[in-house]
Amino acid sequence: FVSLDELGEAFTQLGVPMNTEEVGRLVYECFAQVRTELGEPEFVKWMRFLENMGIKGEQADRVAQA
Residue 46 and residue 54: Cα distance in Å, rounded?
13
> CA separation (Å) from 62 to 11, 32, 33, 34?
9, 25, 25, 24
Determine the pLDDT at residue 53. 82
Give the count of domains, the chain. 1
Higher pLDDT, residue 30 or 56: 30
Residue 36 and residue 20: Cα distance in Å, rounded?
9
Burial state string for 2-14 with b = 16 or more CB within 10 A and e = fewer than 16:
bebeebbbbbeeb
Sign for the CA dihedral angle at 37, 42, 49, 64 comes to: positive
Output the pTM of the full model: 0.77
pLDDT tens-digit readout, 20-48: 999 999 999 999 999 999 999 999 999 99
Domain that holds residue 49: 2-65
